[in-house]
Structure formats: structure tokens, C-alpha cells
Amino acid sequence: MTSQAARIPTSLIGAAGEHFVLYKLFRLGLRAGRPPEGTPEVDLLILDEKHDVVTSLQVKTRARGNDGGWHMSAKHETFISDRLLYVFVDLEEESPPCYVVPSRVVARFLRLDHSTWLATPGAEGQKHNDTKMRRIRPFSKFASSEFPDGWLNEYQERWDLLKQQ
């Protein structure tokens, strides 16, 4: 990504990710659109042939950063629904990959990763203070049998999960 990306406001990066996902959905022949303004925690809706909502998407986009992850918050540990999926878009790549992940997997990862971080001493042996900030990374900083390094690769371009809803 060019150094110009460093000057792009976060809101534009998020909008670019949503439009990129809409493009991908269009290419898959899925009907999708934005929900009404003010709809919390839903960025895009996927409709069936009768225009009934079958899946809700929350799109998280990154285009720069040195932590290698998508920023989230503690509230994402509780957003679990069979009809909610997250799409993590990596605009840092030349050909942006998308990771389509069920909300229950995201919530579980965030809870496990954060609790492990809290239990792990800091660089100077200090106790970490609890925060609302969370991250999803393509690698697992605190690898476990449930989320080993590279765990997110299983969800790369898993658009088929949308049709299983």
C-alpha cells in the first residue's frame, strides 16, 4: 500500500471495504445492500429471492497499521447470531483478500485472545490493564489448539458460508 494510505481517514477505509464486499457479493450473484441508517452492528444485508433478509454482515477493513490486525472492541465478544458473519477485508494487499467468519468464531477468538493477553505479563513483567480494545489477527499472538497460527486462513474467501445461513 502506498504512503498515501496513511492519510486516508478511517471512515473512508471502512466505506471502501464495504463497497469492495458489495462488489464481491454482486459477482457471486447475491442480492445485498446497506441497512437503514442507524442500524447498529450491521453494515450489509443479504437478501433471498423474496427480498427477505437471510444474513447480516459486519465488515471490518484495514489498509494500514503495524499490528497486523483489525481493531474491534469488547462488545464484539457478545454479538453472536447464526445470521451474522464478519468479513475482514485486507486492503493492504495488492489483491485484497476477504475473510468470512461466523460471529460465534469471532466472539470466541476475541474472548480467548483477550483473556490470554490479560494473564500474560507485559514486556517488563507488569500486569496488563483491562481495556475495551480487541483485535482480530490473521495469526494468533497467543496460539492455542483452538486458534493456531494461521487460523484465519481457513476463512479466506469463504463466501460459501453466506449460503449456509
Residue 4 has pLDDT above 60, yes or no: no
- pTM (predicted TM-score): 0.88
pLDDT at 109: 93
Helices within the chain (DSSP H only): 10-27, 103-119, 160-163
Q: What is the CA radius of gyration of the chain?
A: 16
Tell me the per-residue pLDDT of 118-153, one tens digit each, with 9 for 90 and over.
998 888 999 999 999 999 987 767 777 888 888 999
pLDDT of residue 11: 81
3-163 folds as Trna Endonuclease; Chain: A, domain 1 (3.40.1350)
Domain ranges of the chain: 3-163
Would you say 128 and 120 are in contact if contact means Cβ atoms under 8 Å apart? yes
| Cα atoms in the Cβ-side hemisphere of radius 13 Å centred on 80 | 11
Q: Where are the alpha helices (DSSP H) in 69-139?
A: 103-119
Spatial CB neighbours of 76, under 8 Å, sequence gap ≥ 6: 106, 107, 110, 134
- The amino acid that residue 118 corresponds to is L
Residue keyed to cell 489448539:
145
Distances from the Cα of 36 to the Cα of 8, 17, 39, 162, angstroms: 26, 18, 6, 21
In one letter, which amino acid is 25? L
Percent of the chain at pLDDT exceeding 90: 53
pLDDT, average across residues 15-38? 92
